Structure 1
């Protein structure tokens, strides 16, 4: 007899899933029945939050949905923080959990891991949450999830299976459609956008996370129009080193000045969120009056109405726009000069400490070309989110924007390393955030994920302390004593190196990469 748990594994394989992150428990035993005989790799984190963060990093690095298995109750509530981060950053994530037996749900009988309404709780953060009450429902539920991942704005999806349903017979369950294509862009909207773009003399492109896999089309459009390209945090790595690239935050005065001086702004895959466009909370961001927006999500388009709105996948919309532009139209002659002025002014506007922290990130990039750098909320990451030109599309991401979950870096970097094993993967974390998920370094070693963990140790939450002092609040609670990270790493069987400042970081990174296994580098900061 094939049980529903076994059928689930086969259906996931049919949808292309090759890795699952999870911690088994008595409420998910039946989900694991077919796993050992499948082609799916199981990775065991040290905490369910780590499982979902790993799924997030896997998805961002690979472009494929990350999948996590968690138990009902505390397993799922542990994962909900990571699901919140995935929702904020439009990351495709499938979380499959158990739940108590159907006849007991909602009755408050005191069963192990019981919640009053688990699915109701998950509906507040997941794109949708569905309970499977009979085996025949599972193929459609999975099809719905993978269709959302491929044709709409992605995010976390939750499917829960009661423990008494997991073991039911489920012979002959077959996958439905594996996914859908996004709707094509409206020809009329594309034609109007092309008309505006052809007439613009000072065009500008804003690229968000939705455009991070569209570099070829984005580059062609930018060169065709002579338009500088400003990248939000989740778009960094696009057009690295190009004369038209502006790898600087739209919250900076120089970038806002560039936007204000443009007669047309094309916003591709960016939601205009405050953590990108108004991170200082000064209300200085103004939606451009002449605006073409491209977004796969109609709700996002409605939040900031534009002159022309194109509901479509970014790649399809950019290709369609390119096809409608006049072949003989000359690009704006001063695009490169405008981009250069904005870059120089944006960097010059940063204080010396920020510029030094950006150099640390540039050292990582230059020592390990093509690396994926996964950040946590720490000073060099904050600084590089303001200004930094990465050399790999989609290779710079962190949790210091959007939901802002601390402790994201280590497990997300493990997921990224397993998704793209040929790329160097660096986790850049602070001593405070690293302690949130420090035990996951053991999972990295066990899974064979050669992540280089770089810990920026300034002995506390320095960004929060600075914020307190800026408003005359006496700092309290911002100096948690860090442990000896090198000794902890060695206790897990991981080699470690301590640096007295950023000097020597490049050589340490090269040594760590050559080791071919997890390594910890601690940078002690005065």
Structure 2
């Protein structure tokens, strides 16, 4: 090839760097090695997970922590089936992720010839967990396809995008200098008539309520302004925690299925919902259909979302920040005081009275995190402490609390996602909260973190069981089959991977362990046994 000619794989990494991608998670395979030829000429960091699902979870945690997508380089066939679960989690929670994979050569697509890693159709497999999946049949089309992906990341509901490149296209020559990426589209703004109507209703409301979801994290400043201007209590879903600071008098806790908040939705004369789908996974452990007694105003970048699960009296299809800022400007000085702080305090008091015992137990855990690392990013799995944290934890700012108990709901997410979050925000402490069962799904990723020099505090709630399922089975009078599990000794697991391990017996020891873990350059497993001294001091039953 001439000096100005590169392979399609080399051109890809040139374009990724031009789009601002600075981290790639991937496991090289015989079909994808050409994607690596051009990496040394870029500033892109490559991190090698131990499983493609880990690559997807790392990319997910990276994006949630900083708001920018990372990329994953995935081998054909089993690599794609492995990452599909992670893409499902990201799809459900509207997380941007760029997945680049190989696929069999163009002449073999769909032919069923038994080629290495062959699937009938990778695109069909991935269609349900991606904004789109595209097969690149001509290397000259690469700039256009990437532009389409980054347009979605910039101006639509963000979700994973998959681009597969046949193995004969990856090595195909591409002549000429790399094409500069086109300007990304501006996010959609709100219709002025809709903003006017929303402002009229909100200004006249006597009992307004705001609900903000994960789609609203980019609008935190404006939404706080709206809450204060309207003197309206503000409920944030799990992925929106941090829109209000922890001590804000208008902030609510718990979940919308708990009686005080459920009744408040019906009592409010106007509910302003921004970037939330009112998902049932937000309402653990007893989700139920929500009832709105007054007018419901919905702001969402996805037009389909405005009609489910509850029809709105007014739907505004727009970027959350643009719409919230426009609405705040239209409200002007605001309608005056409405006892919002008193309403919020009453709702918090009555909600907290209904929380189950585990919430009070694990309040000690989150208090320790707050004491040791007040600006930490907390990444959770599906485990008892995380379900409790969803009800009680107040994050210091947005992009500081997320977990796998919402949306798709997959075990093993938290460990690799926490590593991705630390790479995205190296200046912040990151805490992973995971159960012993979930840890065993993705424990090999500890080695990935050691290789990459990632220091994360990994709190392991160890009850030698799939504890949440065991509790549910007992509640349904079912035999508890398959939920009591053994596992490795965590001290030896940590040692084998080159990590640290500590098992604190006192709150002060836990606070010290968290602080030390944040200063380390390898993960620290902080083991809390459900039947141990520390958990018993919190009032845990040890189940």
TM-score by length of 2: 0.94
The Cα of 1:178 is off from its aligned counterpart by 4.5
Q: Within 2, Cα distance between the matches of 1:75 and 1:424?
A: 31
Query: Which residue among 12, 23, 40 is the counterpart of 1:19?
Result: 23
Query: Which residue among 275, 288, 294 is the counterpart of 1:269?
Result: 275
Do 2:465 and 2:484's aligned partners in 1 also have CA atoms closer than 8 Å?
yes
2:468 matched to 1:466? no
The Cα of 1:354 is off from its aligned counterpart by 2.1
The Cα of 1:319 is off from its aligned counterpart by 0.4
Do 2:95 and 2:158's aligned partners in 1 also have CA atoms closer than 8 Å?
yes
**How far does the alpha carbon of each residue in 1:432-469 deviate from its partner, in whole angstroms, 9 at most, with x for none?**
00010001111111111111111110111111011001
Quote the residue 1:210 is aligned against: 215
**How far does the alpha carbon of each residue in 1:236-258 deviate from its partner, in whole angstroms, 9 at most, with x for none?**
12212100001321122121122
The Cα of 1:516 is off from its aligned counterpart by 4.2
The Cα of 1:283 is off from its aligned counterpart by 2.8
Distance 1:453 1:474, change over 3 A: same
Quote the residue 1:403 is aligned against: 408
Do 2:236 and 2:252's aligned partners in 1 also have CA atoms closer than 8 Å?
yes
Structure 1 window deviating more from structure 2 (284-293 vs 163-172): it is 284-293
Quote the residue 1:30 is aligned against: 34
Equivalent runs, 1:472-491 vs 2, <5 Å: 472-491=477-496
Quote the residue 2:105 is aligned against: 101
Do 1:252 and 1:386's aligned partners in 2 also have CA atoms closer than 8 Å?
no
Q: Within 1, Cα distance between the matches of 2:75 and 2:407?
A: 27
2:149 matched to 1:152? no
2:51 matched to 1:53? no
The Cα of 1:268 is off from its aligned counterpart by 0.7
Q: Within 1, Cα distance between the matches of 2:516 and 2:333?
A: 50
Structure 1 window deviating more from structure 2 (134-143 vs 344-353): it is 344-353
Do 1:67 and 1:94's aligned partners in 2 also have CA atoms closer than 8 Å?
yes
Q: Within 2, Cα distance between the matches of 1:453 and 1:97?
A: 31
Do 2:267 and 2:293's aligned partners in 1 also have CA atoms closer than 8 Å?
no
2:340 matched to 1:335? yes
Equivalent runs, 1:231-270 vs 2, <5 Å: 231-240=236-245, 241-270=247-276
Please give the secondary structure, in 1, of the residue aligned with 2:514. helix
Equivalent runs, 1:112-511 vs 2, <5 Å: 112-172=116-176, 173-240=178-245, 241-276=247-282, 278-281=283-286, 283-303=288-308, 304-327=310-333, 329-332=335-338, 334-500=339-505, 504-511=509-516
**How far does the alpha carbon of each residue in 1:301-340 deviate from its partner, in whole angstroms, 9 at most, with x for none?**
12232111111111111100011114263132x1001100
Q: Within 1, Cα distance between the matches of 2:47 and 2:281?
A: 32
**How far does the alpha carbon of each residue in 1:465-507 deviate from its partner, in whole angstroms, 9 at most, with x for none?**
1100111101000011021111111111111112347663112
Q: Within 2, Cα distance between the matches of 1:111 and 1:284?
A: 49
Structure 1 window deviating more from structure 2 (507-516 vs 440-449): it is 507-516
Do 1:28 and 1:98's aligned partners in 2 also have CA atoms closer than 8 Å?
yes
Aligned residues: 524
**How far does the alpha carbon of each residue in 1:339-383 deviate from its partner, in whole angstroms, 9 at most, with x for none?**
001111111111223211133123212210110000011101011
Quote the residue 2:45 is aligned against: 41
Q: Within 1, Cα distance between the matches of 2:34 and 2:263?
A: 58
Structure 1 window deviating more from structure 2 (267-276 vs 495-504): it is 495-504
Do 1:248 and 1:388's aligned partners in 2 also have CA atoms closer than 8 Å?
no
**How far does the alpha carbon of each residue in 1:239-298 deviate from its partner, in whole angstroms, 9 at most, with x for none?**
12100001321122121122222111100110111112x434553522454111010000
Q: Within 2, Cα distance between the matches of 1:461 and 1:140?
A: 46
Structure 1 window deviating more from structure 2 (194-203 vs 378-387): it is 378-387
Distance 1:423 1:328, change over 3 A: closer
Please give the secondary structure, in 1, of the residue aligned with 2:162. strand
Q: Within 2, Cα distance between the matches of 1:261 and 1:362?
A: 33
Q: Within 2, Cα distance between the matches of 1:272 and 1:350?
A: 20
Query: Which runs of no fewer than 5 residues in structure 1 stay unpaired?
Result: none
TM-score by length of 1: 0.97
Q: Within 1, Cα distance between the matches of 2:507 and 2:474?
A: 26
Do 1:146 and 1:178's aligned partners in 2 also have CA atoms closer than 8 Å?
no
Query: Which runs of no fewer than 5 residues in structure 2 stay unpaired?
Result: 532-543
Q: Within 2, Cα distance between the matches of 1:282 and 1:485?
A: 35
Q: Within 2, Cα distance between the matches of 1:247 and 1:150?
A: 31
Do 1:143 and 1:175's aligned partners in 2 also have CA atoms closer than 8 Å?
no
Quote the residue 1:67 is aligned against: 71
Please give the secondary structure, in 1, of the residue aligned with 2:41. coil
Q: Within 2, Cα distance between the matches of 1:288 and 1:13?
A: 50
Structure 1 window deviating more from structure 2 (281-290 vs 418-427): it is 281-290
Q: What is the alpha-carbon root mean square deviation over aligned residues?
A: 1.4
Please give the secondary structure, in 2, of the residue aligned with 1:246. coil
Q: Within 1, Cα distance between the matches of 2:278 and 2:33?
A: 43
Q: Within 2, Cα distance between the matches of 1:2 and 1:305?
A: 52
Q: Within 1, Cα distance between the matches of 2:382 and 2:147?
A: 35
